[in-house]
Amino acid sequence: MGAGINAEVFALPYKDGFIVYSPLAGRIIHANAQCVSQLRDYLETGDIGVVSPEVVTRFGGLQWLHSPPPPVALPVDRHFHPTAATLFLTNRCNLRCLYCYARAGEFAATDMSPAVYRSAINWVMNNARRTGFPAQVGFHGGGEPTLAWPELVGAVEYARGLAQDNEHPGVRFAIATNGVMSAEHREYVASTFESVTLSFDGPPDLQNRMRPLIHGQGSFEEVMAFVEVLVSHKTRFGIRSTITNQNVGRMVEMIDYFTTQTGCKLLHFEPAFLNGRCCTMADAVPEPETFAEHFIKAMDRARERGADLRFSAARLAGTFLSFCGCALDPFSITPTGDVTACFEVCDRHDPLATDFHFGHFDESTGRFNIDVARLSRLRSLTVDNKPLCTKCVAKWSCSGDCPVKGRQPFSLPEAESRRCRMIQTITRAMLERAVENAPCRAC
């Protein structure tokens, strides 16, 4: 994607010059070839005189070329003291989404016991008290969390009770849901949760086809009823859509639909991947190049409509040591009390559980036993441990990509994958838009 000016500053050919990109310094600049040559000469010689005064002035100095030090990973054997817990309350589901990675609803129904969620909440609340910041309690899972309604309300009220202590900094709640629930439950969710992530593939024909109810009926009307309640409560919510071959060419249309019919401006599109029920769908997973092409068009349309479209492996705001929370003290608990580092590995029978499950609730002690060795391996999943990423322009934004979708979390690939190139293509497009919409020309 272009030659580097140094190890952390990239020069990407663009129109009549280059995009100069320093992820660590947060700089994206359009410069001509002569300017880039001067910058390289300066770094080789250390002589600022080789750079014209005009360029130095327009850059606000050249200190940013000596990028701030990159993030440094904490020791993998550090103490485990999570301040956020994600509770997977149940494996039951009232939908039968065609691409569900967890095959939700196909297995013997299991709901989380009060002993498990209380112990998890106690732990994170006590840890949060020491930090002075609110604890985070989220609800997610390989099932629909609102189906375990007594457990959901019980967990929320238990955490609220602990937070009533005047010395406690409080607790914040978030939920990921499919939006299919009773009118009473809609009101509770909208008034309780500060952040709601709604899984929604609308327009109606897409939603009803890809995310049907258990017996095959469409779910669209029920989801839209939930959206209306969220809007009426002014609850902050985002929409997360899965992209398959059936809707990859309709992403622009989806942007139009969501922004006009739901008012939602925070949208998140992710390509389906081969796991769970998705493996039974013929040609379900879109080609990486095709996803990138249509995502970029949808990204442009979202910007026109004042919305923010996201893809997890392409993000320019900030620098990240790891793709996700796997390396950052994750604490997600499955209905059976297993501790998992990944939202998508939520069953102990998943082949990847041996890599991503690193603890279990001990009923005899009422505590979680943590496999320290396995946790240390997960903490090693940082981009600085992935040599293939060293010279990649997306190093600090993609951060090595999703270890689950890569399927080999502890292997070191020898060559870029097609998914790597997809991520680079989208990252490149984001850089181009950043230059076009807020041009900063050095010369």
pLDDT at 121: 98
Residue labelled with tokens 């013929």: 282
| Nearest one of 260, 230, 252 to 309, comparing CA atoms | 252
How confident is the model at residue 427, as a pLDDT?
A: 97
Q: Which residue is listed with tokens 């609803």?
A: 105
Q: Contact, 282 vs 109, CB < 8 A? A: no
DSSP 8-state code for residue 326: G
pTM reported for the whole predicted model: 0.94
Length of the chain: 443
pLDDT of residue 408: 62
The C-alpha atoms of residue 367 and residue 379 are separated, in whole angstroms, by: 22
Separation CA 364–CA 260 (nearest Å):
53
Q: How many CA atoms lie within 13 A of 168 on its CB side?
A: 20
From the list 241, 324, 325, the residue with the least C-alpha distance to 286 is 241
- pLDDT for residue 3: 61
Among candidate residues 321, 310, 297, the one with its CA nearest the CA of residue 397: 321
Axis-axis angle for helices 183-192, 220-233 (nearest 10)? 40
Taking only the tens place, the pLDDT of each residue in 221-246 is: 999 999 999 999 999 999 999 999 99
Token pair belonging to 369: 């036993």
pLDDT at 51: 94
> Within the chain, which residues score under 50 in pLDDT?
1
Please say whether the dihedral angle defined by the alpha carbons of residues 256, 257, 263 and 268, taken in this order, is positive or negative.
Answer: negative
> pLDDT tens-digit profile of 159-200?
999 999 877 899 999 999 999 999 999 999 999 999 999 999
Q: Residues 21, 12: contact at Cβ < 8 Å?
A: yes
CA 271-274-337 angle, to 5 degrees, is: 100
Q: What is the mean pLDDT of the chain?
A: 93
SS3 (DSSP) at 232: helix
Q: Which amino acid is at 354?
A: T
Question: What is the widest separation between alpha-carbon atoms in the chain?
Answer: 73
* Residue 281 and residue 99 in contact, taking contact as beta carbons nearer than 8 Å: yes
Task: Label residues 304-326 b or e (16+ Cβ within 10 Å = b).
Answer: eeebebbbbbbbbeebbbbbbbb
The whole-number pLDDT of residue 279 equals: 87
- Listed in sequence order, the residues at least 6 apart from 187 whose beta carbon sits closer than 8 Å to its beta carbon are 229, 233
Contact between 334 and 346 (Cβ < 8 Å): yes
Question: CB of 240 within 8 A of CB of 268?
Answer: yes
Q: How far is CA 351 from CA 279, 288, 333, 405, in A?
A: 15, 25, 17, 13
pLDDT at 226: 98
